[in-house]
Amino acid sequence: METIQEQEQITPMPRIGDEAPKFKAVTTQGDINFPDDYAGEWVILFSHPADFTPVCTSEFITFAHLEEKFSKANCKLVGLSIDGLYSHIAWLRTIKDKIEFNGMKNVSVQFPLIEDISMEVAKKYGMIQPNESKTQAVRAVFFIDPKGTIRAIIYYPLSLGRNFDEIYRALIAMQTADKFNVATPADWNPGDDVIVSPAGSCGAAEARMTSTEGLDCKDWFFCTKTLDKDTVLDKILKK
């Protein structure tokens, strides 16, 4: 059972819609002031349990391999663990020089990896889950929008590697919702139909059911419309 002192040291994790907690940190790419340095861009801030561990190694190779793809979607990657800077540097050099995963090799990690020996940042973001580990960060993923607001959070246990297709899909879906004022249904990918917000009045509901303006309404509250893939990607991806 935790003592009162231990309970006081647990910082509640920030919630969707909150401003991303601010911090300054040393990284493998120099000092950063977060999230201010990334104003106007989306950021994926993600934590991993430890350097020189196999699941984390597979994830970093994958993230580094996909960095350009995320960058084209106006999204920067920022990693974190509670290891020190020199450990980070040695691990990333090992990844580049020795590790091959899923056909990816000689991978150079160019995005910043935060040193967080004090666990200050990890605690601000609720990355320390005491029932999982009191000395390692879980696999947290925070999606932070260009205004510095947390838009989505995904947590994985230490043993489970992340699904990077889903991370990218979620990023594109949120940007699509913002730019086209729609919602995205289950398993949505660019090119699939999107959901139009439910009608706000009886009159609007009736008009929607009889509309010929490209809506496919199964009922007054469930209406979709076509939003083709090229339209979505032309609006989101950098040329």
Active-site positions read: 56
139 appears as a binding residue in the annotation: yes
CB 127 within 8 A of CB 47: yes
Burial 35-58 (b: 16+ CB within 10 A, else e): beebeeebbbbbbbbbbebebbbb
* Whole-Å CA distances, 82 to 57, 85, 110, 127, 169: 15, 9, 19, 10, 28
CA 103, chain centre distance (Å)? 24
Residue 167: in which H helix or E strand, if any?
helix 164-180
- 194, with CB counted inside 10 A (0-12, 13-18, 19+), is buried
Q: Which residues define the annotated binding site?
A: 139
Q: Which residues define the annotated binding site for substrate?
A: 139
